[in-house]
Structure 1
Amino acid sequence: MNRRTHAVLAAATAAALTLGLAACTSAGSTDDAGDQQGVTTEGNGIIGGTPVKGGTLTILSNQDFDQLDPARNWTMPVMDVGVRMLYRTLTTFRAAPGAEGLKIEPDLATDLGTPSDGARTWTFHLKDGLKYEDGSPITAEDIKYNVERSFSAELPGGPDYAVRYLNAPAGYAGPLGGERLGKEAVEVPDARTIVFHLKRPVAEFGYTVTLPTFSPVPKAKETGPNYSNHPVSSGPYKIESYDRGKRMVLVRNTHWDAKSDPVRKAYPDKIVVDQTLKGTGIADRLIADQGEDRNALSYVDLPASKVSDVLTNPEVKKRLVSENAGCTTKLDMNTTKAPFDNAKVRLAMQYAVDKEAFAAAAGGPAFNDIATTYLPPVLTQGNPIDHFMTKPAGDPEKARALLAEAGLGGGFATELVTSTGGKAQAETVQAALKKVGVEVTISTVDPTAVSSIVGDKDKQPGLSVGGWCPDYPSAATFLPMIFDGRSIKAKGNQGNVTRFNDPETIADLDRIAAMDDLQQANQAWLALDAKIMDKAPAVPITWQRKPVLVGSNIAGAFAHPVWAAQLDYAVIGLKSVQ
């Protein structure tokens, strides 16, 4: 989920605070021509310099991937795994930290797309010789097929930009039942050409097609909801084995041609994802840095309880990557469920939450900034906006007064669902709301189950803690994704988890979407952000940094500005292979 237009944004991202990075190193000699294309090492704090070819990289995790199906992959950092290792898209982001990482390059396509008809039509041509893991050719028809799959109710939860933008017939339900999109939406004049026809102008569509929706899926390999178990690779790696929730092994896709791919370097021979770690096991192993763990990295954030162990040890601290993720963590209120269907109650929550305590539970100021509006600073020209001008610890007196005005001066009870790893943060919400008379029962579930509960209208409780990251450099990938009532689904509801369905907001979203002046649109997004804050479907809590620890033999590690500050798997590998 990611960002706003280009020059201003790039500067804002380049200036993002970096904590505890290793000393900057220059690129060493490369082992293939053009190996550093799209990668900048000098002055950017890339850990370990340039990797060597070969070896086994281990990724340590405590959770399964929720979706590797490219039509359904819409969570960070799973998108990073998918589009950097398993499948390619029409365009993709450069493999570089800071401002350079916000720039796009052709991927499967020969260029960044050709707009016509006032940016309502976009044409892309595929490169020659592209192949899947089995050696069969990648065609434009395969990209069209995956775009169609994103309309399918049987495949919920993925990016819905195709649904929003394409000139598709009303009620189109995807290809699984045999129905295909016509030329009014997507044309495939030949095997290497695909033409998208949009409902309205989209000047940034070249960025839209970086999303996994715009990667190829061969119709002959369709397995419906089971496709996530083995998506057919168009990228540098293919799945050798995948025991869900336990272990995934990736090996080289021998039919991937590095000459056609300017971004992915595929340094390791093999990548092993261990998903069985619990508690602080990942951090403990990487801090100890013994044996094969020197060749490992963490898929998940450093636990708050281990922050001191890392920051007080210089040798470990220099292996920490921690940059602003450009995302907003928020307390989402189910606006279809009483009493959160009452705007006054929701407004009270804006004052009741103790953001300072929440941030402390999430690692403190080293890894969090207090959020004061929905749009993160990277989408507000680098400057945070404080909408309510409330102390970080909240204003319980103001919250109680608003609850009294709503007829709930005696308080109420509600439930909050969160992942097991988010329990400490949830408890700060519980404690803060108790001060204003709201009794919160916390339900903790496995991280992979949160989205299925929150996304199901019949199961979703009153409160949940979630977040949003822009998909590419535009605020159009933020507010419309989380507050457009037309995107709400009964099941598989991903973006608008507050189920906020406000006609005035929808009208504003459409009005701004039609603007062709990007500066004017930027100001309009800021104004709309403030209006939605007053309607309070969610409480923005923190703008987090993402702390990720790597082993001492890891090279090419840096936080990518698009993948929510996750490590960029396109260029990571080992310093040496023994």
Structure 2
Amino acid sequence: MRHPSLSRRSRRAAAALTVSLVVAGTAVACGPEDNGAESGDGNARPRQGGTLTVLNSDPQQDFDPARLYTSGGGNVPSLVFRTLTTRNREDGAAGSKVVPDLATDTGTPNEDATVWTYTLKEGLKYEDGKAITSADIKYGIERSFAAELSGGAPYLRDWLIGGADYAGPYKDKGKGLDSIETPDDRTIVFHLNKPEGEFPYLATQTQFAPVPKAADTGTEYEKHPVSSGPYKVVENQNDGERLVLERNEHWSAKTDEERKAYPDKIDVRSGLDSSVINQRLSSSQGADAAAVTTDTNLGPAELAKVTGDKELAARVGTGHFGYTDYIAFNPKVKPFDDPEVRQAIAYAVDRTSVINAAGGSSLAEPATTYLPNQKSFGYTAYDHFPAGDSGNPAKARELLKKAGYEKGITVTLTHSNAQDFETGPEIATALQDALGKAGITVKLKGLEDNDYSDTIHDVKTEPGFFLAHWGADWPSGGPFLAPIFDGRQIVKDGANFNTGFLNDRAVNDEIDAINKLTDLDAAAKRWGALDKKIGEQALTVPLFHPVYKRLYGKDVKNVVISDWTGVLDISQVAVK
């Protein structure tokens, strides 16, 4: 999946070198590299009150818990929708942990992790003062299966017994999913069709937010969803173009250790041009002094301008999100069916030039592993095809000769025409230049963005050599490796992400074995080992992990950016 908080349009704007101080919501290259924990007033003592303004490019559309990803919208949904579990609201790596939210703990599994039981905290209430019950959570999940409310995370359909054939409560005549039991108002039990040790992560998704059946208005629910969090929706204009949130008087901090809820009001204004957002944040005048943005990144030109401004440099947050940009191969297309050809390309890559094309070392970190370089993913360092900083063309030529291409080869690299730092022309050109030094002549084939995505994710049209990227739905190796390398997830009649068509029994079995583990630290180590093993096949060439820089207004306090989302956590911000 793409980074949910960094839109395609935002990335294009961030990469543009001609924009004037476009801080579109992230912050500064010369700023501190510690997630803003000691930057300027960002850590001044917070107080309650005031209005926080959120300036974003993309509208907060479909504001319905059934249709959202938890991390979507730069943390805005979690201000209104509480879930069984949530992310730990702390800086950096500490923020990669899953913690209780509506539930008393992160869940109790049976012996093989096919049954998970949760108990709700006492005293939980909606914005109207009514009690939140386990039946409300069950109903909230069931309505996410309705076709008209699609868009959320797909895991429940795959994991819950009966989920694959369930069509939602509007068609089941009140029967509901038998695999979700609510023996009393505070207990909810999930029955899965396979072991899933990472179910506590899944329970952070907004589909686990409670929805009172009597208040459900179907597709109209997004206009005024019933809040279980510290804020309620008082205004929703033009499908999320402007979203105004005010305090939910029935929310109690005693039941919520994660959300600080300092501001009295949060005004989310979206659909704005990136340059406008960044100029407003840099000027920080009037209400914009208490403003942030969560969906646009600083580009190289913006960083260069901010570098010389001490005041702006102090208002920067740095975020890391589990994300990898890489070269993908289709081994069914010659010459990429030959492992030595794939290895030769891996050796020929000049990561320094790729990093420069991605905006420089402040915006991208070189990658030789598929998993992101964070402990929660199980990061295990390896470099099977060491190319150094600038490539190893001699080794690449040697491998090509062994493969029967002594005079070199000519290949076509498919990329997006979008002007972004991930899969666009700049990255493609950098690779073209580097591979040319190894006798690999690269022809570039650029496709318009939508056509590009459709082409590379269709087994019938997937090219042999193209740029790709992947981000995890939660900070673990599971949602990173399984969609890309589990042979049972090859999709022949829809969007396919196993681009290397790997269907290795040993890999599939190891994925199943890890999924049984409820010790997430132990699971992480196994994911890292599996990544290292798969990497030997050179089905992908990792290039870099992006870094997110975000500027915030001068009156913004208590800046927290976790490695779970990589964006400033609105639930922690104060403006006084």
Q: Normalising by the residue count of structure 1, what TM-score does the alignment of the two structures yield?
A: 0.78
Q: Alpha-carbon deviations, 1:221-280, whole Å to 9, x = none?
A: 656677666654322223311324743333333443333222112222322233333354
Q: Describe the shift of the 1:206–1:230 C-alpha distance in structure 2 as closer, same or farther (beyond 3 A).
A: same
Asked whether the equivalents of residues 358 and 422 of structure 2 are also in contact (C-alpha less than 8 Å), the reply is no
Please report how far the alpha carbon of residue 509 of structure 1 lies from its aligned counterpart in structure 2 after TM superposition: 1.6
2:557 to 545, 555, 574: 555
Please report how far the alpha carbon of residue 531 of structure 1 lies from its aligned counterpart in structure 2 after TM superposition: 3.2
1:253 to 248, 251, 273: 248
Please report how far the alpha carbon of residue 574 of structure 1 lies from its aligned counterpart in structure 2 after TM superposition: 0.3
Partner SS, residue 422 of structure 1: coil
Please report how far the alpha carbon of residue 306 of structure 1 lies from its aligned counterpart in structure 2 after TM superposition: 0.9
Asked whether the equivalents of residues 94 and 105 of structure 1 are also in contact (C-alpha less than 8 Å), the reply is yes
Partner SS, residue 536 of structure 2: helix
1:428 aligns with 2:446: no
Question: Within 5 A, what are the aligned runs for 1:252-401?
Answer: 252-299=247-294, 300-323=296-319, 325-331=320-326, 333=328, 335=330, 338=333, 342=337, 344=339, 347=343, 349-351=345-347, 353-379=349-375, 384-395=381-392
Question: Within 5 A, what are the aligned runs for 1:29-428?
Answer: 47-65=42-60, 68-74=63-69, 76=71, 78=73, 80-83=75-78, 85-133=79-127, 137-148=131-142, 158-168=152-162, 171-172=165-166, 174-175=168-169, 177-178=171-172, 182-183=177-178, 185-219=179-213, 231-239=225-233, 240-244=235-239, 246-299=241-294, 300-323=296-319, 325-331=320-326, 333=328, 335=330, 338=333, 342=337, 344=339, 347=343, 349-351=345-347, 353-379=349-375, 384-395=381-392, 405=403, 411-413=410-412, 415-417=414-416, 419-422=418-421, 426-428=425-427
One-letter code of the match for 1:213?
Q
Asked whether the equivalents of residues 416 and 423 of structure 2 are also in contact (C-alpha less than 8 Å), the reply is no
Please report how far the alpha carbon of residue 294 of structure 1 lies from its aligned counterpart in structure 2 after TM superposition: 1.2
1:438 to 419, 439, 442: 442
Partner SS, residue 411 of structure 1: strand
Q: 1:20 corresponds to which residue?
A: 31
One-letter code of the match for 1:214?
F
Which protein has greater RCO, CA pairs closer than 8 Å, 6+ apart? Answer: 2
Distance 1:72 1:507 in 2: 32
Distance 2:382 2:229 in 1: 40
Distance 1:225 1:352 in 2: 51
1:570 aligns with 2:571: yes
Partner SS, residue 196 of structure 1: strand
Q: Describe the shift of the 1:174–1:315 C-alpha distance in structure 2 as closer, same or farther (beyond 3 A).
A: same
Q: 1:484 corresponds to which residue?
A: 486
Please report how far the alpha carbon of residue 76 of structure 1 lies from its aligned counterpart in structure 2 after TM superposition: 4.8
Q: 2:471 corresponds to which residue?
A: 468
Distance 2:107 2:383 in 1: 38
Q: Alpha-carbon deviations, 1:18-73, whole Å to 9, x = none?
A: 97349999xxxxxxxxxxxxxxx8x7998232432222212222223476543443
Partner SS, residue 547 of structure 1: strand
Q: Alpha-carbon deviations, 1:445-472, whole Å to 9, x = none?
A: 49xx987887677897774543313614
Partner SS, residue 352 of structure 2: helix
Q: Describe the shift of the 1:493–1:557 C-alpha distance in structure 2 as closer, same or farther (beyond 3 A).
A: farther
Asked whether the equivalents of residues 352 and 394 of structure 1 are also in contact (C-alpha less than 8 Å), the reply is yes
Q: Describe the shift of the 1:111–1:514 C-alpha distance in structure 2 as closer, same or farther (beyond 3 A).
A: closer
Distance 2:239 2:569 in 1: 23
Asked whether the equivalents of residues 157 and 492 of structure 1 are also in contact (C-alpha less than 8 Å), the reply is no
Structure 1 gap segments, 5+ residues each: 3-17, 26-40
Q: 2:19 corresponds to which residue?
A: none
Distance 2:163 2:271 in 1: 44
Asked whether the equivalents of residues 245 and 276 of structure 1 are also in contact (C-alpha less than 8 Å), the reply is no
Q: Describe the shift of the 1:112–1:165 C-alpha distance in structure 2 as closer, same or farther (beyond 3 A).
A: same
Q: Normalising by the residue count of structure 2, what TM-score does the alignment of the two structures yield?
A: 0.78
Asked whether the equivalents of residues 157 and 163 of structure 2 are also in contact (C-alpha less than 8 Å), the reply is no
Give the root-mean-square deviation of aligned CA atoms: 4.1
Asked whether the equivalents of residues 488 and 499 of structure 1 are also in contact (C-alpha less than 8 Å), the reply is no
Please report how far the alpha carbon of residue 89 of structure 1 lies from its aligned counterpart in structure 2 after TM superposition: 0.9
Question: Within 5 A, what are the aligned runs for 1:447-462?
Answer: none
Q: Describe the shift of the 1:441–1:371 C-alpha distance in structure 2 as closer, same or farther (beyond 3 A).
A: same
Please report how far the alpha carbon of residue 88 of structure 1 lies from its aligned counterpart in structure 2 after TM superposition: 0.7
Please report how far the alpha carbon of residue 339 of structure 1 lies from its aligned counterpart in structure 2 after TM superposition: 5.8
One-letter code of the match for 1:20?
G
Distance 2:331 2:125 in 1: 47
Identity score, percent: 38
One-letter code of the match for 2:530?
L
Q: Alpha-carbon deviations, 1:106-134, whole Å to 9, x = none?
A: 21113332333454322112234434445
Please report how far the alpha carbon of residue 100 of structure 1 lies from its aligned counterpart in structure 2 after TM superposition: 4.0
Structure 2 gap segments, 5+ residues each: 3-28
One-letter code of the match for 2:280?
R
Distance 1:486 1:181 in 2: 28
Distance 1:126 1:561 in 2: 27
Partner SS, residue 554 of structure 1: coil
Distance 2:520 2:255 in 1: 33
Asked whether the equivalents of residues 416 and 452 of structure 2 are also in contact (C-alpha less than 8 Å), the reply is yes
Please report how far the alpha carbon of residue 390 of structure 1 lies from its aligned counterpart in structure 2 after TM superposition: 1.6
